[in-house]
Every structure is written in structure tokens, then in C-alpha cells.
Amino acid sequence: MGDVSADAPTAGSKRRTRSIWFHLHFWIGWIAALPIALICLTGTVLIFEGDLFRWEHKEHFQLEVTDSPLSVAEVLNRYQTADPPFRVNHLGIPKSPAHSYSAYCTELRSEGNRGGCVFLNPYPGS
């Protein structure tokens, strides 16, 4: 009864197999975790993009409310009569009285047009 079968695994080979699977699982987990962490980080930035923009450009979102604001027609007129004039492609209406109007505009120039986002304070019209 004290004979050990030649086919039976020894304790050392079991430990070695478990160690190989542990290390394989450990390193594959780390390799997979890096892109997942990167995706989570960039997704978080995209979710809070508006909040980050308002934090970065406080001067457009913390206006001093003085008189009555300009109407939408007056705001569009201010963009069109600017020097150089702007063609408004999209006008963002402020969500709060302390926010600026934002417009995605095309700047009309003789040497060529270029686009961008232009803010307008609705109180002094600047």
C-alpha cells in the first residue's frame, strides 16, 4: 500500500501548475486593465466636458447681471455687424441670466473664411 503510482501528480507539480495559472491570470489581468482604465478616464472627461468648459471659461458663465439682456434678434444683429462680420451657424441660448450667448460662427473675410465659437455678453453687448 505504500507504493505511489507513477501516474499520480506530485505535490510539486500541482503547485507549479497552480503557479503558472496564477501568473498567467495575473499578467493578462494587468494587460487588460490598462486599456479599460484609459477608456474609463477618457469617458469621464467626455461626460463632464460641459462642466469642465464652464470651469475653464468662468468669465463667460459668471456675468454681472445689470439691465435687461439683449433680445435674440439684437444678438444676431450684433454678430452680423461685427468687424469682421460673422455668419451665425448655431446660436446657443444661455441657460442662466449670468451666462453668455455662444455662437458657432463663420468669420467672413476677403482672404478666406474661418470658423469658431464666439461669445457675447447679453448686457453690454460685447
| 4: confidence class by pLDDT, cuts 50, 70, 90 | low
Domain around 105: 67-120
Whether 8 maps to a domain, the answer reads no
What is the tally of structural domains in the chain? 1
Whether residue 57 lies inside any domain: the answer is: no
pLDDT value for 32: 94
On whether the pTM is more than 0.75, the answer is no
Alpha-carbon distance of 81 to 93, in angstroms, equals 19
Q: What pLDDT score was predicted for residue 31?
A: 94
User: Span 4-31, mean pLDDT?
Assistant: 78
Res 33: pLDDT: 95
* 77 inside domain: yes
Residue type, 77: N
Residue 78 pLDDT greater than 80, yes or no: yes
The per-residue pLDDT of the chain, averaged, comes to 82
Answer positive or negative: Cα dihedral of 63, 69, 70, 75. Answer: positive
**Segment 42-76, tens digit of pLDDT:** 999 999 988 888 888 888 777 777 878 888 888 88
